[in-house]
Structure 1
Amino acid sequence: MHTLHHGFWIYFFTRHHPKVWQFVLGSMLPDYIYVVLLIIIMANGYVTWTELGNLSPRVLMGFVSQFPWVVKIDLIGHSVPIWLGCLLLSFLPGIKHFRPFIIGWGTHLLFDALTHGAYSNFYLYPLAAYTVESPVSYWEGNHWFREFGYINTGLMTVVAIYLVYEWWKKRKSIQ
């Protein structure tokens, strides 16, 4: 699932929670490293602003081998044991305020497990190199990416219309 889609879906499901933006930011956490990678490859002239809109995940992943530290940060961000350790730490008194952020991060791991085919993540890093390969992928042609895209985009459109309706109804009741 694309990074912003993680944020969209967690926003929809947590929009009435007072810490909704912590959930949203946490849900995109593991992929922030790719924003940094995009900035670096653009600064080095590998990709221009005009090419950015057509940059596929496959092409972006091709740059990862040139920046091995990106792989390490990606492994850490997509690791269930590391996430679980952070979640357990969030039950300590001084750290409990980060729990919505950490739960949002966990939803990212769950959605990735459901939407990553051949290029799935090593979820048990650093303990093991096991992956969960979903039969569905959001960008791999041989893993139903087109069908997934239609369904995800359709559902997001319906939800966006509902959110606008909800906002309009609330705004109208205030006036």
Structure 2
Amino acid sequence: MNTPSHLILNLALLRRPLAPTMTWPILIGALIPDAALFVFYGWARWQQLPEHIIWSEVYYSQPWQAIFAVGNSIPLGLLVVALGYYLTPLWLGSGLGCLGASMVLHHLADLPLHHDDAHQHFWPLSAVRVISPVSYYDADHFGLLGATVELGLVLIATAYLWPRLHFIASKGLLAATVCLTIGGYLALQIRPLIAP
């Protein structure tokens, strides 16, 4: 699943109107699993590697797969949730719990939408990768279906969030994120279908 989609879906599922201060921990928790991917891509571009080499070879190499495993670990996300629960009497606890819950929600959303690029979601307990028959982008593995379901969920979540956001800046950020998601869908899924 694309990172902007995680942001919107996690916010719709975890944010409560009575606790808007949890918005930032939810957003940060949604970003943490993909943070290493952004570092990886920046490093690869700095190395002037071609796109096809980045995504077909270097992405699958060590130590990158080990680094991705840490950020995509469901057990580590659950550990953060438990730590947040333990620290609940303190101000930090609630935010930490929301951050961990958002990380775990990100992982659970990725499980059914990653094929060749599946993560080691059970690290450090196991190096097993759950390989889904559906990809969120790869046409050879129902990528159009995966991307369409993802976009549909994002649009539903946006409709839910829109009236609950009270600041123009928040609505603008949501609109920009949805536009980014729609643009990615059109460029990666629809354009290849109509291109000669």
What is the TM-score with the length of structure 1 in the denominator? 0.75
1:34-71 deviations in whole A, cap 9, x for unaligned?
A: 11112212222236xxxxxxx68x953533256x3332
Q: Percent identity?
A: 21
CA RMSD of aligned residues (A): 2.9
1:135 alignment partner, one of 115, 133, 136: 133
State the distance in 2 between where 1:169 and 1:87 align: 28
Match of 1:101 in 2: 99
Asked if residue 21 in structure 1 is aligned to residue 31 in structure 2, the reply is no
Q: 1:11·1:21 contact (CA, 8 Å) conserved in 2? A: no
SS of match in other structure, 1:90: helix
- For 1:148, give the aligned amino acid: G
Deviation of residue 158 (structure 1)? 4.8
Q: 2:69·2:119 contact (CA, 8 Å) conserved in 1? A: yes
Match of 2:78 in 1: 84
TM-aligned CA distance change 1:99 to 1:46, over 3 Å: same
State the distance in 2 between where 1:121 and 1:168 align: 33
Match of 2:148 in 1: 150
TM-aligned CA distance change 1:106 to 1:138, over 3 Å: same
1:91-129 deviations in whole A, cap 9, x for unaligned?
A: 233551311111100101101112112432222222222
Q: Which runs of 5+ in 1 are unaligned?
A: 48-54
SS of match in other structure, 1:129: coil
State the distance in 2 between where 1:98 and 1:117 align: 30
State the distance in 2 between where 1:142 and 1:42 align: 26
SS of match in other structure, 1:91: helix
Asked if residue 4 in structure 1 is aligned to residue 25 in structure 2, the reply is no
Q: Which runs of 5+ in 2 are unaligned?
A: 169-196
State the distance in 1 between where 2:105 and 2:166 align: 29
How many residues are matched? 161
1:121 alignment partner, one of 119, 122, 137: 119
State the distance in 1 between where 2:126 and 2:137 align: 25
State the distance in 2 between where 1:22 and 1:160 align: 19
1:12-42 deviations in whole A, cap 9, x for unaligned?
A: 2234342122112101211100111122122
Q: 2:115·2:141 contact (CA, 8 Å) conserved in 1? A: yes
Q: 2:26·2:102 contact (CA, 8 Å) conserved in 1? A: yes
